[in-house]
Amino acid sequence: MVERITEALTMFPTADADPNPIVERTVTVLKTLQKSVEDFPVTSRPVRFGSPQFREWHTHLSDNISTYLSHITSNAPLTSPPSSELPSSHLELRSHLLISFGHPTRLDYGTGHELSFLIFLILVLPPLSPPQLSSAINDIFSAYYGLTQTLQLTYNLEPAGSHGVWGLDDYYCLSYLFGSSLLCSTTSSPSDVLSESWREDNTSNLYVGRIRFVMELKSRAPFCEHSPMLHSLTGVESWEKVRGGMLKLWKGEVLDKFVVVQHLVFGETFKCTWHVEEQFRIKDNFVGDKFINREGGEISGSFFPPAGRAPWAVGGGPPVPVTRAPWADERKEEGKEEGGFEQTKAPWAK
């Protein structure tokens, strides 16, 4: 299904298809939920990760889940009172939607929650033509990311399973896959991401929107330092190659990870029947003192790949600038190393 979505987004990036009623109602529910965050402000003192008020918002979601599902599936009014009993067809939908925005106990959010929302859409959307599918995914996920980013900023949700600077993103993966698919038919290149004016002109794109979010969230450090893998993708030659790498990354790092899929709910409608091909399995980079490259060959232990670089970002992207203090003199002087940095010495060293 994800491959069908990426193909539709690539072939019809600006699809102007007739809007599907379920798509429109899903967007309405997401925007209503985003607005409801204002009703549950953070009142406790700041914590490093996870404000307890997120549990209050999530309780509101759980209490009204029947109303939201009824509106999406049968156009019931959003003002109708919640029902204590759900139709059997809604039980699985409820489970997937409830875990699509973060975990109320752990107070975190990650690619597993993003995957749960995708599953919810697969179950709730009717059969759509490629142009309709492209338009639906773009509209719904734009509203979905708007909601989840509001939740992350408001309640400071902890990244679930983040790899830090060695990973792609603290929260998302599908946004980069879908966004790069939309950019394949444009004349732009991945290096344009480094241009602020280009990002402003393309902020509605799912890929660019998440890049802007990351840069705003981690504005105290250069992009190349806080997100080296995303930065390395600016050196990839085309959006087609970015899309292909993202698809492999998503299959290997999300679908093929037990720590992710163990939280999914399987039932009569959604069953765990997929099998990730061996080519998409992400193996350990190092075996003993040997590095295993992408082709499966071995390179001597003296070689180490640049840290935080996407495996398919051959060429490495633009040079990463060295972070220096503003007052650091770059002139080479006596007693200093190349670049103007003083050697660290013990006080008694002559």
For residue range 170-223, what is the model confidence (pLDDT) as tens digits? 788 999 999 999 999 899 999 999 999 999 999 999 999 999 999 988 888 888
Residue-level pLDDT at 284: 42
3-state secondary structure at position 305: coil
Q: What is the DSSP string of 267-296?
A: -SSS-------GGG----SEETTEEE-TTS
Tokens encoding 38: 């204002």
Strands 158-159 and 108-109: parallel
Q: Give phi and psi for 277, each to the nearest 5.
A: -60, 150
Residue-level pLDDT at 224: 86
Rounded CA-CA distance 109/41 in Å is 19
Range of lowest pLDDT (169-183, 256-270, 328-342): 328-342
Q: How confident is the model at residue 147 (pLDDT cuts 50, 70, 90)?
A: very high
The overall average pLDDT reported for the chain is 79
Whether 287 shows a pLDDT value over 80: the answer reads no
Whether 341 shows a pLDDT value over 80: the answer reads no
Strands 286-287 and 290-292: antiparallel
- How far is Cα of residue 151 from the mean position of the Cα atoms in its chain? 14
As a residue count, the chain comes to: 350
Percent above pLDDT 90 for the chain: 40
Q: How confident is the model at residue 281 (pLDDT cuts 50, 70, 90)?
A: low
Rounded CA-CA distance 70/82 in Å is 10
Q: What is the pTM of this model?
A: 0.77
| Continuous segment of H or E residues that includes residue 109 | strand 108-109
Most confident of 80-84, 229-233, 260-264, 289-293: 229-233
CATH annotation of 2-280: 1.20.120.1150
